[in-house]
Structure 1
């Protein structure tokens, strides 16, 4: 388990590889690597993708916090955010929106996608911070995700036993066991997709 509010990069990498050995820390890959432990919840009624007013933003936030509280978020949670670069080297200029919603995050690691194909080579710069879990502590982050201003965001407990990936339209959750997934899925069944794939 990570015991500090400022996780050491190597310790976090070791913990990730222990808990999620089949998947790099790319949120969009989780459901394909752990399909039997994955569930997706939609953040608005009728599977509406984007909120258009404050009432709808309120619904989005309420659903996110409801599931996170059910998962047992707190007293500290890890928040992982991402930037994309053409090179593995970090530059001092951060993406403004990511820096606004995660100002205390520090660089965790670089994940290079398709490193053998220069045309499609993408460097994912992952940042992490540990936040005290309080009401509305990640409102700015979740609103930015809902507006498609950020992607590849994850919230997790310090031991990484579960992963919560909010996206523009809902959230993917990956749990330690199929049974826990099924229980959570049943509890919030009204927020599931009608599509057979669960997407």
Structure 2
């Protein structure tokens, strides 16, 4: 999977929060709730959040399987099982994919290592609802979803999702279909 990532996304390691800066020509951000509200308060708002995620993921069409990448952070390069129990709960079948050091110039006493875990699931709307709810509640972060061939990337965060579409034209079509979900911010944030 590392080789595939490096071929598809050579300008950016799999840090979810870096994707929009490295691929701005294919990036679009959708907000999860009307008026850019950040966090859902009740089941009706969770239904809106999940409905928007399902809609965009279905339009991107991962095919029969969806790749799910989740993250944990450790003080050393070594993985620490169950350090972040919520990540393990929402991605129980994930295997350790790789360890990344975001800023090697940081003082070694304060370095944070990103542990990435991956799994694939049969795709259908609802298959990642527990994970998406955990993201919406800011219980986990650094999630990347996509098809197993990595032709596009989907980074849900608390408040919305960043999409890195396969092409600029596909990004523009998504933006047009879901104009009401875009930010009013001039940079699209």
Q: Give the TM interval when normalised to the shorter protein.
A: over 0.9
The separation in 1 between residues aligned to 2:97 and 2:164, in whole angstroms, is 21
Alignment of 1:8-157 (within 5 A): 12-117=1-106, 118-157=108-147
Contact 2:68 2:145 (8 Å CA) reproduced? yes
The separation in 2 between residues aligned to 1:121 and 1:181, in whole angstroms, is 35
Contact 1:16 1:160 (8 Å CA) reproduced? yes
1:119 Cα shift? Answer: 4.5
**Which residue of structure 1 lines up, in the alignment, with residue 163 of structure 2?**
173
Q: How many residues are treated as equivalent by the alignment? A: 188
**Which residue of structure 2 lines up, in the alignment, with residue 164 of structure 1?**
154
After the TM superposition, which parts of structure 1 deviate over 4 Å for at least 4 consecutive aligned residues? none
Deviations 1:121-179 (A, max 9, x none): 21000000000012311010000000001111011001000000000000000012111
Report the TM-score, using the length of structure 2 for normalisation. 0.97
List alignment gaps of at least 5 residues for structure 1: 1-11
List alignment gaps of at least 5 residues for structure 2: none
Give the alignment's Cα RMSD to 1 decimal: 0.9
The separation in 1 between residues aligned to 2:182 and 2:105, in whole angstroms, is 38
Deviations 1:29-49 (A, max 9, x none): 001001111000000000000
The separation in 2 between residues aligned to 1:188 and 1:159, in whole angstroms, is 25
